């Protein structure tokens, strides 16, 4: 086998593996628009650099037919690539948007690693959709003593209720609480032409007056807009605009 052929075979295998991983990240773990806000591009850049550039390039440099210790050299290259792939995908997997929890007047996106899943009681909150976060509603306790206890725990530095599954309930059971804080999409006064175009397209799809509602979503320091069907109250689309920055009616 020639040096060039060895390089092309290595590059083809690496491209197939990395391409499959990137497809899983984009379509399943970080469906649009999450990848753009995730900060995962640094890790993805490392994956591409090591597995698509460095690995095949080392093969091109080191490969010589009948070279002593050739198998060892190629094994070291493969180990370097595999280590980078495992580290990168594990990091991205741990940070993926796993839960979308409604709290007070907004949704908070929470990664799985931040949650003690043993405290989740409702089975529906354990069933992860293929390409969307699990929807839940975090409710403040009604008992006064429980409220005082929660307040003290927050002052001690414990997480708020959107990261405390003992306060969660299935989304379908508390749609009224979510609907009460949602606002008509027509009140979202966007100036960006792309955002305006997206909103106009949604109104064409749902022409009934007042059919579309929205709520803010917070994740990793970003805020964007989640649009709902006002009849079924199922999510329709996300719009990359901070609704708190816009004038609303």
3-class SS at 83? helix
The CA distance from 96 to 86, in Å, is: 15
18 DSSP assignment = H
End-to-end Cα spacing for the chain: 70
- Length of the chain in residues, anyone? 249
- Residue 72: is the preceding peptide bond cis (ω within 30°)? no
| pTM, full prediction | 0.87
Q: What is the pLDDT along the chain (249 residues), one digit of tens a residue?
A: 888 899 999 999 999 999 999 999 999 999 888 988 888 888 999 999 999 999 999 998 988 888 888 889 999 999 999 999 999 999 999 999 999 999 999 999 999 999 999 999 899 999 998 888 999 999 999 899 999 999 999 999 999 999 999 999 999 999 999 999 999 998 888 888 888 999 999 999 998 888 999 999 999 889 999 999 999 999 999 998 899 887 555
Residue written as token pair 């995962």: 40
């Amino acid at each position: 086998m020639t040096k060039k052929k060895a390089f092309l075979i290595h590059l083809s295998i690496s491209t197939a593996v990395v391409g499959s991983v990137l497809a899983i990240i984009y379509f399943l773990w970080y469906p649009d628009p999450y990848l753009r806000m995730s900060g995962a591009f640094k890790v993805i850049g490392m994956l591409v650099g090591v597995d698509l550039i460095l690995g095949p390039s080392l093969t091109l440099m080191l490969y010589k037919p009948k070279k002593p210790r050739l198998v060892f050299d190629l094994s070291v290259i493969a180990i370097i690539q595999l280590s980078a792939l495992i580290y990168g995908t594990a990091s991205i997997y741990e940070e993926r948007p796993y839960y979308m929890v409604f709290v007070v007047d907004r949704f908070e996106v929470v990664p799985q690693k931040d949650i003690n899943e043993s405290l989740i009681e409702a089975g529906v909150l354990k069933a992860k959709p293929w390409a969307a976060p699990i929807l839940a509603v975090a409710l403040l306790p009604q008992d006064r003593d429980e409220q005082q206890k929660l307040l003290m725990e927050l002052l001690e530095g414990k997480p708020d209720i959107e990261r405390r599954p003992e306060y969660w309930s299935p989304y379908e059971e508390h749609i009224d609480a979510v609907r009460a804080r949602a606002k008509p999409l027509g009140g979202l006064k966007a100036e960006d032409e792309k955002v305006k175009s997206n909103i106009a397209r949604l109104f064409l799809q749902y022409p009934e007056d007042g059919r579309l509602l929205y709520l803010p979503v917070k994740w990793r320091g970003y805020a964007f807009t989640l649009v709902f069907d006002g009849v079924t109250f199922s999510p329709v689309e996300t719009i990359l605009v901070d609704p708190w920055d816009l004038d609303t009616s």
